[in-house]
Amino acid sequence: MKLDMNNAWLEGVRHHPSAHYDERPKAVEIELLVIHAISLPPGQFGGPFIEQLFTHRLNKNEHPYFADIADLRVSAHLLIRRLGEITQYVSFQQRAWHAGVSSFAERSRCNDFSIGIELEGCDDVPYTDEQYQQLARVINILQQAWPILTHDRIVGHCDIAPGRKTDPGLAFDWGRL
């Protein structure tokens, strides 16, 4: 796996482009990495539903929970599945729609200056060895491209949207990362 700096897509991972992105504001650099957790339906792993959500193809009739989220326009740059498979949805050069109302170091609108990585998981279920391994590999590649992404600039969604978000949750072992 390596980063193609011409288009800011990882090589050696699955690509499934999302339409849920836009351009970063002019002169705004990537300065933050946000770790998220997602499972659809909540607490269930596998299946096509996360990808369908990120690509606006989620059928609201497939599960009762989907009725409330099927029309959301959300995405992340990457998803790391339970077995370590990585899918990229948005170029790192573009702004994915992952953080929502958020702030870091007194700056709002974290989507403007961050990369969002979703782990297939939930707050109270331990993440897998494969996910930690792949996340570490990805972080190493991103830090080579953007050295500002130091340890103190790798945060959870809960850190930039406290009171609103709890992911990646207590089951995420920051020390292990």
Per-residue pLDDT tens over the stretch 34-83: 999 999 999 999 999 999 999 999 999 999 999 999 999 999 999 999 99
User: What is the DSSP code string of 101-170?
Assistant: S-EETTEE-GGGGEEEEEEE--TTSPPPHHHHHHHHHHHHHHHHH-TT--GGGEEEHHHHSTTT--TT-T
Check residue 23 and give its pLDDT.
97
Check residue 58 and give its pLDDT.
96
Check residue 116 and give its pLDDT.
98
Check residue 29 and give its pLDDT.
95
Check residue 95 and give its pLDDT.
98
For the chain, the helix, strand and coil percentages under 3-state DSSP, each to the nearest 5: 20, 25, 55
CA gap 156, 35 in Å, rounded:
5
CA gap 45, 162 in Å, rounded:
25
Q: For the chain, which domains are there?
A: 2-160 (3.40.80.10)
Global pTM reads: 0.96
Catalytic (active-site) positions: 118
**pLDDT, tens digit, 9 for 90 and up, residues 85-126:** 999 999 999 999 999 999 999 999 999 999 999 999 999 999
Check residue 91 and give its pLDDT.
98
